[in-house]
Structure 1
C-alpha cells in the first residue's frame, strides 16, 4: 500500500492505493484538478465511473475515501482506494479491448438475475435500456434451458465482487449488449445488432 500526496489548487490531497495502480491514481488526480477550489472541502463527493469519491479533512490537508465494498458501502468508507481503482481499470481495459464506448454503472445499481443462476457455469448477461434510476439494466439468465427459472432475485452491483467477480469487468458495456460466460471465461460479446465483437479480439 502506498500513500500518494499532491497539491490540488493549493490544497494537499492524499490518496492511498496499491503502488501498481499509480497510473490510475495519476488519472484520478488529473480529474480532481478540474474541481473548483471552493469544492475541495470535507464532505464533497464526486462519482467517477463505478465509485463515489469523498473528500475528507480540514484546512489544507485532505484524504480521499470511497465506499467500503467489503462491508457496507452505503454506510462505511475506506481510505484504501485499491478496489475502486482496480474495478475502474478492469472496466476501462475491457471497453478498449472490444473498442466500445461504455455506459456508466454505479456500485449501488441493481442487477437482476434468474434465481441461483450465478452458481451455474453457463450464463449470459444482457443490458436493456429504459430502466429506472438505480437499475443497471443488466439481467443474468441461463444459457441452457435446463438451468432456467422464472424466479428472479436482485443484487447490488458491488455484491458481485463476492458472488462472481469475473462479471464486474463487463458491466460498463452499453445498453442492448450481451455477454456469454462459461465459468470465468467470456465466450461471446454481442452488440445491439447481435454481432459477436469478441471474435475480433482473438
Structure 2
C-alpha cells in the first residue's frame, strides 16, 4: 500500500492506497487543496464528497488522513486506512462511461436504488436508470430477468448495493434511460436511451 502526502494549508494530508492508484490519490489531494484554498477548513471527523463517494477526515500523528466513508454515523465499508476500493470503483465507473462514449452521471453512496425482492441473488439481472428523479434517488432499478409478473420492491442505498453485489456498482455512472444486463459479475449487454445496443 502506498502513502501519498500533500501539504495543504500548513498541514499534511495523507491518502493510503495501492501504488497503481497514485494518479487518483493525487487528484483527490488536488480537490482537498482547492477546497482549502476556497476557505474550507478540514477537521477530524469531517466528511466530504468526491465523485459521489464520501471520505472521512481523520487525524493521527499530527497528520490529516483521508479514510473510508461514514454514512449515517456508520463506517459502512469498514474503518481501515486503505481507500483503494473506492478509488478503483471511481476509475471503473468513469472508464465504463468513457468506453461507451457517454458523459458520466454521478450516483452518490447514499442515493436510493430500487430493487426487486430477491433479485440480487439471481445470476441474470438488469439495471435500468430513470430520469427526472428526486434528490437522493439514483434513478437505478435492479430486477431479475427471470421475474415474471408481480414482485415486491424494496429500497437500498448505493453503499448497501456495494456490499451485497459490488460488481453492479461499476455501471452506476451511466446516464438515465440506460439498461445494463449482467450475468453474474459480467456485463453482457448495454442499451442506450434510444434502445440501441452499445455492447454485447
TM-score interval for Structure 1 and Structure 2 normalised by the shorter chain? 0.7 to 0.9
> CA separation in 2, counterparts of 1:53 and 1:167?
21
- C-alpha distance in 1, partners of 2:88/2:63? 25
Match of 1:194 in 2: 195
SS of the counterpart of 1:36?
A: helix
Give the whole-Å Cα distance in 2 for the aligned partners of 1:143 and 1:76: 32
**1:185 alignment partner in structure 2:** 186
Classify the secondary structure of the residue corresponding to 1:95: helix
CA distance in 2, matches of 1:132, 1:178: 20
Partner of residue 153, structure 1: 154
Instruction: Give me the whole-angstrom Cα distance separating, in 1, the residues matched to 2:59 and 2:125.
Output: 44
1:46 paired residue among 42, 45, 48: 48
TM-score, with normalisation over the residues of structure 1?
A: 0.85
Taking structure 2 as the reference length, the TM-score comes to 0.85
- Give the equivalent residue in structure 2 for 1:19: 19
User: Aligned residue for 1:142?
Assistant: 144
Change (3 A) 1:113 1:17: same
Structure 1: gaps of 5 or more residues = none
Give CA deviations for 1:27-66 in whole Å, capped at 9, x if unaligned. Answer: 21222231234424304443111312233339x7322123
Q: Are residues 1:162 and 2:159 paired?
A: no
Q: Distance in 2 between matches of 1:40 and 1:128?
A: 37
- The CA deviation at 1:182 is 1.8
**Pair 1:77–1:196, CA change in 2 (3 A):** same
RMSD: 2.6
- Residue ranges of structure 2 left out of the alignment (5+ in a row): none
Aligned length, in residue pairs: 197
CA distance in 2, matches of 1:83, 1:39: 26
